[in-house]
Amino acid sequence: MYLIRLFISFKGRARRLEMWLGTIGLILASTVLVVVNQFASGLPVDELIQSRNATEYGFLFPEAVPWWTNAVSSALFLASFFALLALQAKRLHDRNWSAWWLVFFYGAPLTLNRLTDRILDAAEAFQARGSEDWANLLAYLSLALLLVLLSIALWFFIEFFFFRGTRGPNRFGRDPLGAPTPPDASL
């Protein structure tokens, strides 16, 4: 029952240990399920590992893969992602932050990544036209955006896995470590 609440509910708080173990557990479970799904699909996994040619086995051509394999893979991804979001929401609650911060933690890197791709495309176009100065400027701009993206990802990682939660109860529930309520500073 505890695991179901941990991975399904967006309410409550989660300690660092639960975040570490839950994330590692989700990664392991997802890996096992993907491998089992891969074997069940009938694709020659051993040849794929040796050849490393994904297009030959239908990964870029979905019609070569049985329909149910894609359906199962999509369902597994959505279930794992939902469980991860629930766990991360609880971890943010433990830090006394709203779960809406997940929109920033996922949206900002995705947006910056797309913007960086567009800027690099423009840099290639300038370079093809012989305008090296503009191409270099855009390349440096994309590098700066990638550093911002890396900074956000690092902040995300440190915030979730290393910082202690709020001591005592907060607006999202009691302290999962069972720490006593801090004394009132106004007295």
DSSP helix/strand/coil, 170 = strand
pLDDT at 94 over 90: yes
How many CB atoms neighbour CB 119 within 10 A?
A: 20
Phi, psi of 165 (to 5 degrees): -75, 175
Amino acid at 132: E
Average of pLDDT values for 134-140? 91
Average of pLDDT values for 157-175? 90
The tokens describing 97, both together, are: 């932050």
Q: Where are the domains of the chain?
A: 1-96, 100-167
pLDDT at 88 over 90: yes
pLDDT category at 45 given cuts 50, 70, 90 is: low
Average of pLDDT values for 44-65? 53
pLDDT category at 39 given cuts 50, 70, 90 is: confident
pLDDT tens digits, one per residue of 110-136:
898 899 999 999 999 999 998 999 989
- Asked if 7 and 22 touch (Cβ cutoff 8 Å), the reply is yes
- Asked if 167 and 7 touch (Cβ cutoff 8 Å), the reply is no
Which has more confidence, 178 or 165?
Answer: 165
Residue 183: the pLDDT is: 54
pLDDT at 182 over 80: no
Residue 46: the pLDDT is: 60
CA-nearest of 154, 18, 1, 22 to 82 is: 22
Average of pLDDT values for 149-177? 89
pLDDT tens digits, one per residue of 141-156:
999 998 998 998 899 9
Which residues, other chains included, contact 39 with Cβ-Cβ below 8 Å and sequence gap of 6+? 45
DSSP helix/strand/coil, 8 = helix
Which residues, other chains included, contact 70 with Cβ-Cβ below 8 Å and sequence gap of 6+? 62
The tokens describing 72, both together, are: 């199962």
